[in-house]
Amino acid sequence: MSGLISVSDALDALAQNALPMRAETVSIERAHGRQLAEAVMARVSRPPTDMSAMDGYAVRLEDVSTAGARLSVIGEAPAGAPFEQTLGKGEAVRIFTGGEIPTGADHIVIQENTSRSGDEITCDEAYGAPQFIRKAGRDFHEGDTLLEADSILGAGELGLLAAGNIAEVNVRRRPRVGILANGNELKPPGSELKRGEIVNSNPVALAELVRSWGAEPVDLGIAEDTLDAISERIESADDIDIFLPVGGASVGDHDLMRPAFAAAGFEPVFEKIAVRPGKPTWFSTRVDTRVLGLPGNPASALVCAQLFLKPLITGQRHSLIKASLACDLEANGPREHYMRAFAAFTDDGRLSVDPAPDQDSSLIKPFVTSAALLRRLPNAPEKKRGELEDIILTSLPRL
């Protein structure tokens, strides 16, 4: 695609050129943040049998249909040690939470509703329906699909797999993302800066985003403003799936990233996007490697990483939700605009969004307080306080 393309078209192009990551098997202890390569089925049912939800006594419901029923206690059923006999008329089994329901029992009388003398209990209440039994398979049955392919494994997902007796899973290999900065003026954090030099902060923030999206960041350093220097970094990079050049993406005399990657055999897919910030964002491919070029301005780099790098890594587009505007907004220009914004819940529980007052693309500090990107469509009309607008949450809103 040549010329200026829309955000939607750019996302379509990224999806069409997504890298198929081969699968590898890892233990569930090492699978946090990984993406499943295939669906996973439960190897057991949960609970495996009918189990007690309370401490008390397993009984036959018909034996406690009237208050004051007296039953003989014939044994115990703690968790992990089932009572092996069959419960008969007028009998009870002492049971504990998680204990297996004995054969013949269909109700639990909780401990607080009984009084006991030796091997006999008296039930204080009458019961008309079974209570406090967790039926076998209430959570899931053996053979049920626990998680679909492409699921991202968080704490809940890993707990579910463990409960399904799954010790290992097939996950997609983490893509290696090579972050390459460009600019004679850039110096690593902690440097003694000379006049005209600035700190190279983008790779630090981008690396953390890459990790949070389940990929492995690789620092390819800072290339000087020459084709040879950039080309050398490209060719010496080892086993990179996605190159992420930062800077050198515009049309100035020193913007050499795209020519260097073109010389290395990368074919352009798109060269700029009708987005603000981040118009010079570009994308090219070479066999089984991809390159997503980001502008050097911090806001442009970080916003476009959220919009375009995340779906390239995860295969999942960002989700839009509605939020109430905390201020009036002017009409938007011809490019789709993503404004860094503060998001919070109001006293009445509504999600409110307030754009940062200064949206200059060189600013980093707004990302500390921002929890959202407020989307404004091309040529969107002015909006009033209280109206709804689309946002992308980048972190949890404040309460």
Q: What is the pLDDT of residues 19-56, one digit of tens each?
A: 888 899 999 999 998 999 999 999 999 999 999 999 99
Q: What is the per-residue pLDDT for 254?
A: 53
Share of the chain above pLDDT 70, in %: 97
Q: What is the per-residue pLDDT for 183?
A: 86
Measured between alpha carbons, how far is 87 from 75 in angstroms, rounded to an integer? 10
Q: What is the mean pLDDT of residues 340-357?
A: 92
The answer to whether the pTM exceeds 0.85 is no
Q: What is the mean pLDDT of residues 164-184?
A: 95
Helices (H), the chain: 7-16, 155-163, 202-212, 227-236, 257-263, 298-304, 310-314, 366-369
What is the bridge-based pairing of β-strands 4-5 and 272-273? Answer: parallel
Q: What is the mean pLDDT of residues 160-181?
A: 97
For residue 287, how many other CB atoms are within 10 A of its CB?
Answer: 8
Token pair in block for residue 317: 């587009």
Q: Which of 145, 147, 178, 150 is nearest to 21 (CA)?
A: 150
Reported as a single tens digit per residue, the pLDDT across 191-248 is 999 999 999 999 999 999 999 998 999 999 999 989 999 999 999 998 999 999 998 7
Banded pLDDT at 324 (limits 50, 70, 90): very high
Would you call 183 helix, strand, or coil by DSSP?
A: coil
Burial of 118 (0-12, 13-18, 19+ CB in 10 A): exposed
Q: What is the per-residue pLDDT for 1?
A: 54
Q: What is the per-residue pLDDT for 316?
A: 85
pLDDT of 368 higher than 90 = no
Element (H, E) at 141: none
Element (H, E) at 281: none
Q: What is the per-residue pLDDT for 255?
A: 74
In the predicted model, what is the mean pLDDT of the chain? 94
Reported as a single tens digit per residue, the pLDDT across 241-282 is 999 999 876 655 557 899 999 999 999 999 999 999 999 999
Measured between alpha carbons, how far is 182 from 247 in angstroms, rounded to an integer? 6
